[in-house]
Amino acid sequence: MPLLSDLLPQVWERLAVRLSSTQPVGLTTGIAELDEALGEGWNRQELTYLAGSSGIGKSWLTLWFVLNGAQWLHDHPDQRPLSGYLISRNNDEHAKQRQQIQDKEGKQPLIVLWSLEMAEMAVTMRATALTARLRCGVDLDSAALRVGKLPVMPDDPAWPEYSAHLEEAYMALRGELGPYVYIEFDDRNTGEFCETLDELTKDHDIVFVVVDYFRLIEEFQSDGSMANAQAQRSMQLTQLAKYYDCHVLAVFDITRLGQQAERVGLQHMKGGTAAQYDADVVLVLNEHERGGKEKDVYERHGVVELMVAKNRFGVTKTIQLQIDRGTGLIEPAHRPRFGEGIYRSKGEIATP
């Protein structure tokens, strides 16, 4: 372990770089108000949890974060979130691997989605639907796409324009965004996942990791206690964020009381007392107005409140957003909703 007198020059050197650098501190979330609250978006070496009721749109929100981050990385090939990585002076067994992680010169930045819940087809169809809406304004409901249905069929006069938009979205997802996103479906525990990250760091600079779902990470040892299992998972993700110099966002389960409550809060994180303390940021997603609706039943279009319930390095606040649970489009709540229609022409959708 380094002495403070040895560590201080390294830290001040990094601070000097930040003062003079034009590089961003964090990776954009795709939501301007959230970027501001977090300090320019997702900062490296930090851990965030996202909690909310089942079906409210947590997985859509994480995919929004992934694709907007990938779009930013594509649009800014010479920029990436600033690193805070420091190498210990000691020659420990991890020194070579840590040096490989720190060496980012010539490596392409990468976002990693660890999908423990959804399979390849489901994730890809959602990504296609969201890209079609973001890039072209095409209404491509992922649920309809899942069963092979499109809002415009080949015998419709609007088909040529619609299919051209679909092709544009496909090419954007494959050629622009895809190279900045790696999706892992097979790893079941953090040990296996870290082996995957070790391979990726040979050629990539991992800036952002999304874990969907936290509770599905298999723990190495457990005494059967939910709290201990959650604490172990959380500790592993905290270490992962620091070791790989990336921001980690994990989707978190809520308790049965949380599912029944009018509003979800920090206290409803399932077995999550340790996770609350470990996290740098906790985001909680709630429906803006539940009224008399049945619990966990949501319309395709809704207004949600994204609460920054904990923020170790910044402010806490609540951000109102419109969400389309068919395409994954997210907009500021004050923006007028788009009318019903088969699709919107390119340029009509202004992202946050």
**Which residues neighbour 209 within 8 Å (Cβ) at sequence distance 6 or greater?**
111, 112, 113, 114, 197, 240, 241, 244, 246, 247, 248, 249
pLDDT of residue 224: 66
pLDDT of residue 339: 37
How far, in Å, CA of 212 to CA of 252, rounded? 8
Name which of 51-65, 68-82, 212-226, 321-335 the model is least confident about. Answer: 212-226
Concatenating the DSSP letter of every residue in 321-352 gives EEEETTT--EEETTSPPPPS-SB--TTS----
Residue 43 has pLDDT above 70, yes or no: yes
**Which residues neighbour 135 within 8 Å (Cβ) at sequence distance 6 or greater?**
168, 169, 172, 346
Please count the residues of the chain.
352
pLDDT of residue 91: 53
pLDDT of residue 340: 35
pTM: 0.89
Residue 293 has pLDDT above 70, yes or no: no
How far, in Å, CA of 91 to CA of 235, rounded? 24
pLDDT of residue 342: 32
**Which residues neighbour 347 within 8 Å (Cβ) at sequence distance 6 or greater?**
137
How far, in Å, CA of 107 to CA of 100, rounded? 11
The SS3 of residue 51 is strand
Protein fold of 4-332 = Rossmann fold (3.40.50)
Are 166 and 138 within 8 A, CB to CB?
A: yes
Q: Rounded mean pLDDT of 97-110?
A: 83
Share of the chain above pLDDT 70, in %: 88
Residue 347 has pLDDT above 70, yes or no: no
Are 185 and 231 within 8 A, CB to CB?
A: no
Most confident of 74-88, 90-104, 200-214, 293-307: 200-214
How far, in Å, CA of 11 to CA of 76, rounded? 26
Name which of 43-57, 182-196, 322-336 the model is least confident about. Answer: 322-336
Residue 136 has pLDDT above 90, yes or no: no
pLDDT bucket at 12, cuts 50 / 70 / 90 = confident
Residue 272 has pLDDT above 90, yes or no: no
Residue 13 has pLDDT above 50, yes or no: yes
Are 219 and 229 within 8 A, CB to CB?
A: yes
Name which of 90-104, 169-183, 191-205, 317-331 the model is least confident about. Answer: 90-104
Which residue did the predictor score with more confidence, 108 or 101? Answer: 108
Beta bridge partners of 208: 111, 247
Amino acid at 331: E
Q: Rounded mean pLDDT of 67-85?
A: 91
pLDDT of residue 348: 35
Q: Which residue stretches of the chain are H helix? A: 4-20, 32-38, 58-75, 95-102, 120-136, 142-146, 159-171, 190-200, 226-243, 256-260, 273-278
Share of the chain above pLDDT 90, in %: 55
Residue 122 has pLDDT above 90, yes or no: yes
Residue 126 has pLDDT above 90, yes or no: yes
pLDDT bucket at 45, cuts 50 / 70 / 90 = very high
Residue 351 has pLDDT above 60, yes or no: no
pLDDT bucket at 195, cuts 50 / 70 / 90 = very high
Q: What pLDDT digit, counting tens, does each position of 230-256 carry?
A: 888 999 999 999 999 999 999 999 998
**Which residues neighbour 65 within 8 Å (Cβ) at sequence distance 6 or greater?**
29, 30, 42, 208, 210, 249
The three state secondary structure string of 244-256 is CCCEEEEEECECH
